[in-house]
């Protein structure tokens, strides 16, 4: 009997050792399988990310299907409704300060230094919507604008309606290029844009959607100086009439002007009126809700 018990004890020890070895071996096998599965998952995740293409191209609108256009129009209506509410709030604040916004398109030019001198003489501020190639040509003028506290905005690259409105992403592509040029010269990244000839009627719903997805703020105006049409002193009275009309409506004037020799020649007369009336000239900023012409289904493509 004692011998039998000793054998049983040894047998138990042997079984225990055997089980331990099996556990170790099985753990190793499962560990390898888990590691292999982990590696396979990592590979799959890597393949998945490689399949996703990241691009610096503008966020594109949906394809030109009826469903896509319907989604874009609904989205734009939400954006437009929210914008109008914020603009109304901003206008109320501006009325308390009797604010006016002077904006100059198409620069910089060979007369911009003179324009800046005049604004400085009258201690007035303004926003400049500038063309990319012009910024490259007159970088020192743009740096002076920055130093003197003027607002810097974008006006595209070509100023050609057939190019900038040629497809859904064309306006955004021009503004992104324009944005990069300005940032290279000044270090400033602006979201303020003005489309050549305004956002109506050529800026389609799809174009507006793509611009919004790229965080651009489309600024138009509510007072057209018509300096581009008259090219003489007549534009001053036209602008004054527009400012008076906005004041009667309880709306802060956003004035469209151009960086040209003809405009500069008669600008002191306009600035004298603005000063006499007690207006405070202010600049547009990235965080302000933009004054934009509504499309309301009436926009049409360039022909």
Helices (H) and strands (E) counted in the chain, each on its own, are: 11, 8
CA distance 41 to 47: 10
Q: Is 159 a catalytic residue?
A: no
In angstroms, how far is CA 129 from the centroid of its own chain?
13
What is the DSSP annotation of 234-283? HHHHHHHHHHHHHHHHT---EEEEE-SHHHHHHHHHHHHHHHHTT-EEE-
Dist. CA 164–CA 174, nearest whole Å: 7
Cα–chain-centroid distance for residue 168? 15
The helix (H) or strand (E) run that includes residue 301 is: none
Catalytic residue among 105, 106, 220, 259: 105
- Asked if residue 105 lies in contact with residue 129, where contact means CB atoms within 8 angstroms, the answer is yes
- Other CB atoms within a 10 A radius of the CB of residue 125 amount to 18
Write the Ramachandran bin of 220: left for phi over 0, alpha for psi from -120 to 50, otherwise beta: beta
Out of 212, 220, 227, 258, pick the active-site residue: 258
Rounded to an integer, what distance in angstroms lies between the CA atom of residue 290 and that of residue 15? 82
Q: Helices 205-213 and 66-97 sit at what angle, rounded to 10 degrees?
A: 70
Strands (E), 108-212: 127-130, 151-154, 192-193
Residue 42 bears catalytic tag: no
Residue position matching structure tokens 């331990």: 20
Q: Which residues share a beta bridge with 104? A: 128, 257
Six-digit token string for 226: 């018509």
- Residue 115 burial by CB count (10 A; 0-12/13-18/19+): exposed, middle or buried? buried
Q: State the catalytic residues.
A: 105, 258
């Amino acid at each position: 009997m004692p011998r039998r018990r000793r054998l049983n004890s040894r047998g138990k020890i042997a079984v225990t050792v055997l089980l331990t070895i099996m556990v170790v071996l099985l753990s190793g096998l499962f560990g390898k399988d888990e590691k292999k599965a982990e590696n396979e998952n990592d590979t799959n995740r890597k393949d998945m990310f490689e399949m996703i293409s990241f691009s610096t191209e503008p966020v594109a609108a949906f394809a030109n299907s009826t469903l896509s256009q319907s989604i874009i129009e609904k989205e734009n209506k939400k954006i437009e409704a929210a914008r109008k509410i914020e603009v109304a709030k901003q206008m109320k604040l501006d009325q308390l300060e009797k604010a006016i916004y002077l904006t100059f398109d198409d620069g910089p030019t060979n007369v911009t230094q003179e324009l800046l001198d005049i604004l400085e003489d009258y201690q007035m501020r303004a926003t400049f919507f500038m063309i990319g190639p012009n910024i490259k040509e007159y970088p020192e003028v743009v740096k002076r604008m920055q130093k003197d506290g003027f607002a810097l905005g974008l006006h595209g690259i070509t100023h050609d309606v057939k190019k900038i409105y040629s497809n859904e992403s064309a306006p955004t592509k021009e503004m992104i290029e324009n944005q990069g040029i300005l940032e290279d010269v000044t270090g400033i990244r602006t979201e303020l844009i003005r489309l050549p000839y305004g956002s109506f009627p050529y800026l389609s719903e799809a174009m507006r959607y793509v611009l919004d997805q790229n965080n651009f703020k489309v600024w138009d105006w509510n007072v057209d100086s018509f300096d581009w049409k008259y090219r003489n002193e007549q534009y001053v009275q036209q602008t004054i009439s527009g400012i008076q009309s906005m004041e009667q409506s309880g709306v802060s004037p956003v004035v469209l002007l151009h960086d040209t020799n003809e405009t500069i020649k008669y600008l002191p007369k306009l600035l004298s009126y603005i000063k006499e009336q007690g207006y405070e000239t202010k600049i547009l900023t990235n965080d302000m809700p933009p004054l934009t012409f509504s499309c309301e289904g009436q926009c049409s493509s360039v022909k």
